[in-house]
Structure 1
Amino acid sequence: MVWLSKRELATYVVLREVLGEKNIVNIGEALEVLQIMMPRKIARKVMKRLHKKGFLSIENVQVRINPLDDAIKRLLNNYIAERIRRNLRAQGIEALIEVRGDHIRVALSGEECAKVKSFFDRLIIVECLE
């Protein structure tokens, strides 16, 4: 998993503070705000990386700053799914694990299903297979 660099985090914070969270702005405005911190070419590359990681939504020339907690949750879902898979495998439990949007789906069979379901009902979707 690739974390945020200091430059990416600083870019996100500056854009959010100056332009506001959830506001849709022109990409030119965002680049103008970042002009004091970095060259335009670097700013475009950093914004592209933030878009790939879910911190910004970019459509054509419109930029939307996504909420921080949603972006971090999306970034960490794959990591959480991998940790669950490794932990269950270490316990000898076979499971099918996949990330679907904002949720992690875990398909288990047997008595382990009820135990896992009781712990993670809010975070992941647990399906019991027969």
Structure 2
Amino acid sequence: MCNLYPMSYYEFFISFNEGDYYTCHDLLEEIWLTDRQNLFIKGLLHLSVALYHYSYGNVKGARAMLLSSHTYLSNYEGVYWGIAVPEVVDYIDVCLTIISQLSAEEDCKDWDELPEFPRLYLNIRGEGEIF
């Protein structure tokens, strides 16, 4: 089988779906450092960082990375690099809505008391696939 994407991208899907966002950052950064023009990968990288920040209570960092990710990924439509981009952008919108309902002091709150984000599971789709 011929891989369409770098192997670390396939590994990213596994780590993301397991909730290992720290590893996702490393895997995507490996791709992005070889192609800094790839703003799609940068958007996914920022999403991973946002989810990692939120997981330990850094709401301010999560908000900033979600906004950045939204900006990058909103420039893509349909299925891109095997990901249904509108689903990811919608997910980011949901996360931003949850964060917007928190008070400015939430970073001081115990991380386990923050409202949970819904889980997003990513799967590689064909470029022309209807979803």
> Structure 1-normalised TM-score?
0.30
Where relative contact order (Cα < 8 A, 6+ residues apart) is larger, the structure is 2
More helix by percentage: 2
More strand by percentage: 1
> Structure 2-normalised TM-score?
0.30
